Amino acid sequence: MLKAVIFDLDGTILDTTGELTDALSKASMAIIGKPVPKGTLDEKGLMGAPLDEICRALIVPHLQAEQDETEIQKQFERVFVEAVDAEPPSPTFPDVLPGIKLLQSWPGQKLKFAVATTKPTRTAISDLTSASVDPLLHKFFSAVQGTEGDIKPKPHPDVVLAAAERIGVPPANCVYVGDTTRDAAAAKAAGFLCSIIVRRGEDSNTDKLGGDYLIGNFDEIQGVLAKRLNLATAVEFQEEKAFVGARKGMVFKKDVAGVGYYTDVPPMVEWDASAAPKTASGGLDLMAILTIVIAIYLGMRLGGVNIF
């Protein structure tokens, strides 16, 4: 049973790819004298990785023998953070708030929402409450959990498990939405119901990055989960509800393309011979059957239904 949807932050909710790439290049220039080529984080599987791991992978191999790795690590993190802080706050992707609102309004599904990110909690909250983010968005989240203290970064499951614990939902009832292989791996290791990978603007790329489902924007999340759990989406539910309230007795169907429509044709009632009236000797009571048929006919005529 689905009870919560937990989201990654950078690249999933916030459009931070350009900001992080620029900060990485500035830190690299300051230490080894050359920028890191664009796309390197994706190519090396480092998108969403913590800064110390990025530094070890991309900066340390270029150090001179006399350079101290520990000091370089501190310098890298300092320059990187300063570069990020100098940039304007990152906005959310335009599909995020409408997609979460759709999930929140899903009939019969009282879902909780949370954020689980590689960033420190305080930084994540600051990002979500910045001037470039709709103030309504932060109110949807029951918890914002960052990676700090004893919590290991993704692909370890620690941060997503901590988020689930904070909102009081078992991992098996949670879904994680992210944008990297690390997000998918963390959800799987945590025992989540499933993971959803969002890749905006990449229609030709069908790589799910290890996730269970691939979507192009947040508007698709509800549809994916509805199919997974065999539930009606909010739109389908509202269509059905509106129809039943307005014209009781009609039948809701879908055509071969999955488009819903309503028909005046009443559902067929199967004949159950075992329930037919019988005489004392066990034979069919034809008079009783005829009486029932006439009663049904008269009832339909009085109800305005023309069967001929």
Is 4-13+90-229 CATH 3.40.1160.10?
no
What stretch of H or E contains 116? Answer: strand 112-116
Does 4 or 49 have the greater pLDDT score? 4
Does 47 or 176 have the greater pLDDT score? 176
Cβ neighbors of 31 (< 8 A, separation 6 or more) are 59, 63, 72, 75, 76, 79
Q: What is the mean pLDDT of residues 129-135?
A: 92
Cβ neighbors of 125 (< 8 A, separation 6 or more) are 138, 144
Does 86 or 246 have the greater pLDDT score? 86
Answer whether residue 290 shows pLDDT above 90.
Answer: no
Structure token pair of residue 239: 């269509």
Domain ranges of the chain: 4-13+90-229, 17-86, 234-263, 273-302
List, for residues 79-118, the tens digit of each pLDDT value. Answer: 888 888 788 889 999 999 999 999 999 888 899 999 999 9
Question: How would you classify the pairing of strands 260-263 and 251-254?
Answer: antiparallel
Q: What is the mean pLDDT of residues 129-147?
A: 94
Give residue 42's pLDDT band: very low, low, confident or very high (50, 70, 90).
confident
